[in-house]
A and B are shown apart, each in its own frame.
Chain A
Amino acid sequence: MNPFAVLNLSITCSDADVRARYQTLIKRYPPETQPEAFQLIHEAYTKLRTEHDRWRWLFFNQDPQVGDTPLQVLQTFARLPGRSRPPGHDAFRQLLAGAVKAAATSNQS
């Protein structure tokens, strides 16, 4: 879990930025209705709360998540809280076409 990515923040952000983004996100993802997203956001917030915390995470986090491929990064990004939005008719149709092709190929084999 990359807390900067979860909160959508720059590595040069301030304490106030972190707090403001956290408050915005927990209003959008309250624990009552979105417990998983809330937990993720809260965990990210605790890792970035102070400047010490942010630098410590950048330099010494034990979960560096290295070795992801570019598409894995995109997939992770698309699944972050608040990222997904309807992409438009063409993109949706293209995905469905790709899914049909994959199913057909699998069916033939």
Chain B
Amino acid sequence: MSQIRSNYSKDPSAAPVLAAFEREKWRKARDLAKKLCKKDHDRYLPLVIEANVELCREMIAKGQLSEAETVVAHLRTIAEKEPCDELAEQIEQAQSAQKPATKPGPAPASPSAWREAINAVTRLETGEDAIPASAWLAADALVAGEAEPDPSDDGPVAGRLRNELKAVREACAASGQGAWDDAKACLVQIPARSIFRHWRLFLRGVRHWFLGESAAAQQCFGRLPDGSACARAAAAISGDGLASGIDHGTLAAWWIASSDAGNIDVRALVKIEAEWNQGHWRRPFDRLTPIMTPYWQKMEGALLSLWARLLFPPDLHVDTDARRRSHEMHACGKGLAHRSKKMPGLSLAYLNPALVESAPDLETHELALLVENLIEISSRLFGKNPIRDNVLHRWLADQAASIDVHRSIYRPYYRDPELAKIMYEAALKNDPNDLHSALALVDLLGHLNEKSVRNRLLDQLSQRFPNEKPVLQRAGRLAAERSAFPKAIKFFESAHRADPLDPDIRADLIRTYLRLIDKRQAQGKAPQKEWEIVDGYAFDHPVTEPLWLSRWSLRLRRAISSPDDSRAEAWRSEALQLAPHQAECLFLEYGLRTARDEDPDRSWIKAWRSVTCDHFSDIQRLIDVADHLEASLTDSFDPLEDLRDPLEEKLKDLLPGLLLKAPMEARQFYLTNVAKADRHLFGRRLISSGNLRAILLDKMEAELEPLMKRPKNVHPALQLLYYENQLAAYELAGDEDEIQAIANLIDKATAQGLTEIAQQARRLHRSLKDMEDDDSDPFFYDGDEDEDEDEDEDEDEEPFDPSDVPRAFLLQLFEAVQNDDTKALAKLRGQAKQYGLPPEMLNMEVLRQVFSDHDPEEEAPKPAQPKPARPKPKKGRKNPKSNSQMDLPF
């Protein structure tokens, strides 16, 4: 609100005028102020002047210059000289800007164009269809006024042509003004074989376009001859006008006029465009600022929003270093905020890319500085706003609480949990209803082991948001953690009512009920009621659901836990029927009974063995079973954990098998959790053993070696494991026999429908082919090479410094390996050179090995190191194994 208007804020009679000002109804404000003037002229005259000034500015922005002149003339009678002169100057500038757009020069008579058009009409009348392109162009020039009819030609054809031309021109004039009926009436006079016939189609398209029927318009425009004047004009109206070949001044004038963009200086805009396209940035921006001024004054509208985004050339965002980009943009944003408070959108546009694009690359304290500065600038521009501050604090907190992928090889590392905690608290202070921040803070406090604070916060949240599912779920889990099972069930049931389709809540309910049942049974009670309830929540599709939550496993568990019940045998039979694999059901039964010391004579293990075979097949079978358990690895480990003590020797074979088959994410999750829990000593030993894959493969190798003499009898999965192990141990040379053997494996896997194995084998096949094709493979030593030469090369070569490799590159590399994205890896190979990284090093298999061998205790990530050249092994002779493979934990 201006100073003048604020003087009247306490005047009740001026309230309607101020309200009209608020709504930017200047005319109404002026009329109301005039009425007040009649009562007290001296007091209310400033309001009349203010309303007239604003009205005049609006008229200038809309291009209503003659009306604006009238207002200024009136203002001169009541206001001081200065504002009137300023407005008059603005009107003058606007008038000069409009001149080139509104004054097309008179076209001279063009006998040649006219003659060509006459000839074309004559040909059309004689039934000839082949009209030269120049004749169509001449017709277009006549319509557009670029050529005029020859006044000396008064033949009958010329008369007809003149009439048709007149009709088309009138149709164009009517279309330009939106008089569609008039345009239609004019176009009716154009015959089907006229030289102006394509104008009918074009003008129909124009009508559809301005009536908002864009599909119909595009249909008409699409049928226009390519490259014709009509097609070019159609592109300017609806499509890519900048590619139409029409000069920029004309296009700009058209877009300004047809979209009510106000009073924009076309010539200046075209100049800016040319400079912009030459790669300049600052100068065009400075020139653009005065053009934008009318929009900043109103501070709204589509064009303002679009102007605000028109700032930086794209290469500044992509190529420049994140830190420099962030600082430069931030400096610009601050400068703008100081320069004019009318440019908030512009300032934000500077800062937005700095935040979004630089976030992953900047340190958290730099991000914090950026955010605090942004809050300061925004406060200066828009005033204080807790919601805005909440959004910024929450974003910063989310960034600080995100996982650092460089460090999270074996367990998740947060980027900056302490900062995240402070920022979430700040976000909540600004907006106490921000549930996202509250829940994120609860999770973070759990991670920081501040359990008492977390519990208190969660209690408050469950009272404040009694119907929010995530709150209820967390409160239920906390209650379950405290062994308050009835309370936990109450929370979970409320959450289930809020979202009955959420499988996680069902899973939580089942887990809690099972723990309650165990507790009741330990107290000597029969939990029949709980069993009935939990059966209602059980999942029917065990293939995709966690093992313990499926109906069959619950029946089995009930049968085993209630051996005296007359229905126990029936429940067990049902479980066997419902289970997807008999072996799976029997394996669980064996596990449960052993854990309950019910299997002294090992009868259950015999039952299980009856559906499996020997030691080796057990693993194979479990790997197959684990396929169905990928989504719930932790659950599948629970029975195995129960069996740990009596059967540790057995488990040492089984666990790696399961882990190998599990997805990487689940594997890391499981290992992280077991590492934290003291009772999972077995899991901790697994982690300490290092490469799980190596353990399994090492154990399998001894058994696979004799079997692989006849590979046809070996399961494709095991064949693949064998070959991968061979490759990792540098025992594959990539010769024809090996490539053929893997090709056979691909065929076999494809024939059996094992697509995943076939895909993996194809990758192996490609690696081997590459080895065969590439003579300069750095991983195999070529004995024929001159050693001295190699030494010289080593001396000349600049030593590779891992710290030269940027983190962003490593991140991309890591993601490519994790996702097995060979395309991304191919791109990264190109970039590798500039960091001194040999491109040959970016071999997917090697990278996989490097990342899987990564030391979890390392503070900062290190780039992949090239493996030292090793002598090529002779076929049939094994290399000594690495220490990590030799030192097995079992």
A-side residues, CB < 8 A to B, are 2, 4-13, 28-29, 34, 36-37, 51-52, 55-56, 58-62, 64-107
Instruction: Compute how far the CA of A89 lies from the CA of B355 in the bound complex, rounded to whole angstroms.
Output: 47
Structural contact, B245 and A55, CB atoms closer than 8 A: no
* B residues less than 8 Å from A10 (CB atoms): 299-301, 304
Contacts A29-B212, A55-B391 aside, 18 further interface pairs with beta carbons under 8 A come to A2-B309, A52-B390, A56-B391, A56-B395, A64-B353, A66-B349, A69-B310, A70-B310, A74-B252, A75-B255, A77-B255, A77-B303, A88-B176, A97-B104, A97-B145, A100-B144, A103-B245, A107-B133
Instruction: Compute how far the CA of A80 lies from the CA of B259 in the bound complex, rounded to whole angstroms.
Output: 9
* B residues less than 8 Å from A98 (CB atoms): 233, 236, 246-247, 250-251, 254
A-B contact count (CB 8 A): 269
* A residues less than 8 Å from B306 (CB atoms): 2, 5, 68, 73, 76-77
Among residues of B, the one whose C-beta sits closest to the C-beta of A55 is: B391
Structural contact, B259 and A93, CB atoms closer than 8 A: no
A-B contact pairs, 29 of them (CB 8 A): A5-B306, A55-B392, A58-B352, A61-B352, A62-B356, A64-B356, A66-B311, A66-B317, A68-B310, A74-B256, A75-B242, A75-B255, A76-B306, A77-B261, A78-B255, A79-B238, A80-B259, A82-B212, A88-B257, A90-B104, A91-B254, A95-B233, A96-B145, A98-B246, A98-B250, A99-B140, A99-B246, A100-B146, A103-B227
Report if B57 contacts A (CB, 8 A): no
* A residues less than 8 Å from B102 (CB atoms): 90-91
Structural contact, B305 and A60, CB atoms closer than 8 A: no
Flag B227-259 by CB within 8 Å of A: 1 or 0 each.
111101100111011101111101111111111
Structural contact, B242 and A72, CB atoms closer than 8 A: yes
Q: A8 touches which one: B227, B302, B387 (CB < 8 A)? A: B302
Structural contact, B233 and A96, CB atoms closer than 8 A: yes
Among residues of B, the one whose C-beta sits closest to the C-beta of A3 is: B305
* A residues less than 8 Å from B382 (CB atoms): 12
* A residues less than 8 Å from B284 (CB atoms): 70
Structural contact, A67 and B313, CB atoms closer than 8 A: yes
Structural contact, B253 and A91, CB atoms closer than 8 A: yes
Stretch at the interface among B268-276, B656-664, B670-678, B685-693: B268-276
Structural contact, A67 and B314, CB atoms closer than 8 A: yes
Structural contact, A59 and B374, CB atoms closer than 8 A: yes
* A residues less than 8 Å from B104 (CB atoms): 90, 93-94, 97
Interface hits, B355-397 → A, CB 8 Å: 355-356, 374, 382, 385, 387-388, 390-392, 395
* B residues less than 8 Å from A73 (CB atoms): 303, 306-307, 309-310
Structural contact, B229 and A103, CB atoms closer than 8 A: yes
Among residues of A, the one whose C-beta sits closest to the C-beta of B144 is: A96
Ranked nearest first, the 9 interchain pairs of A and B with the lowest CB-CB distance are A92-B176, A10-B300, A98-B250, A86-B178, A87-B257, A102-B245, A67-B314, A91-B257, A96-B144
* B residues less than 8 Å from A90 (CB atoms): 102, 104, 176
Contact (A86, B176) CB under 8 Å given A69-B277, A100-B144, A100-B146? yes
Among residues of A, the one whose C-beta sits closest to the C-beta of B386 is: A51
Structural contact, B144 and A99, CB atoms closer than 8 A: yes
Contact (A102, B247) CB under 8 Å given A87-B176, A107-B137? yes
Question: In the assembled complex, how far is the CB of residue B780 from the closest CB belonging to chain A, in whole angstroms?
Answer: 45
Contact (A83, B259) CB under 8 Å given A68-B310, A98-B251, A103-B229? yes
Structural contact, B259 and A95, CB atoms closer than 8 A: no
Q: B248 touches which one: A6, A71, A99 (CB < 8 A)? A: A71
Structural contact, A95 and B210, CB atoms closer than 8 A: no
Structural contact, A99 and B302, CB atoms closer than 8 A: no
Report if B172 contacts A (CB, 8 A): yes
* B residues less than 8 Å from A12 (CB atoms): 299-300, 344, 382
Structural contact, A106 and B269, CB atoms closer than 8 A: no
Question: In the assembled complex, how far is the CB of residue B641 from the closest CB belonging to chain A, in whole angstroms?
Answer: 43
Structural contact, B141 and A85, CB atoms closer than 8 A: no
Contact (A85, B260) CB under 8 Å given A5-B306, A12-B299? yes
Structural contact, A75 and B229, CB atoms closer than 8 A: no
Instruction: Compute how far the CA of A58 lies from the CA of B144 in the bound complex, rounded to whole angstroms.
Output: 44
Report if B14 contacts A (CB, 8 A): no
Contact (A99, B236) CB under 8 Å given A78-B258, A78-B259, A86-B176? yes
Question: In the assembled complex, how far is the CB of residue A97 from the closest CB belonging to chain B, in whole angstroms?
Answer: 5
Structural contact, A88 and B177, CB atoms closer than 8 A: yes
Q: A104 touches which one: B101, B137, B261 (CB < 8 A)? A: B137
* A residues less than 8 Å from B252 (CB atoms): 71, 74
Q: A95 touches which one: B228, B236, B248 (CB < 8 A)? A: B236
Instruction: Compute how far the CA of A107 lies from the CA of B345 in the bound complex, rounded to whole angstroms.
Output: 44
Among residues of A, the one whose C-beta sits closest to the C-beta of B311 is: A66
Instruction: Compute how far the CA of A102 lies from the CA of B245 in the bound complex, rounded to whole angstroms.
Output: 5
Instruction: Compute how far the CA of A2 lies from the CA of B254 in the bound complex, rounded to whole angstroms.
Output: 22
Instruction: Compute how far the CA of A65 lies from the CA of B277 in the bound complex, rounded to whole angstroms.
Output: 17
Instruction: Compute how far the CA of A9 lies from the CA of B227 in the bound complex, rounded to whole angstroms.
Output: 38
Report if B214 contacts A (CB, 8 A): yes
Report if B403 contacts A (CB, 8 A): no
Report if B809 contacts A (CB, 8 A): no
Question: In the assembled complex, how far is the CB of residue B362 from the closest CB belonging to chain A, in whole angstroms?
Answer: 14
Instruction: Compute how far the CA of A69 lies from the CA of B303 in the bound complex, rounded to whole angstroms.
Output: 13
Structural contact, B314 and A91, CB atoms closer than 8 A: no
Flag B293-336 by CB within 8 Å of A: 1 or 0 each.
00000011111111101111110010000000000000000000
Report if B422 contacts A (CB, 8 A): no
Instruction: Compute how far the CA of A81 lies from the CA of B251 in the bound complex, rounded to whole angstroms.
Output: 19
* A residues less than 8 Å from B134 (CB atoms): 107
Contact (A52, B232) CB under 8 Å given A66-B309, A77-B259, A103-B140? no
Report if B351 contacts A (CB, 8 A): yes
Structural contact, B144 and A93, CB atoms closer than 8 A: yes
Contact (A68, B309) CB under 8 Å given A92-B176, A101-B247? yes
Structural contact, A60 and B172, CB atoms closer than 8 A: no
* B residues less than 8 Å from A99 (CB atoms): 140, 144, 229-230, 232-233, 236, 244, 246
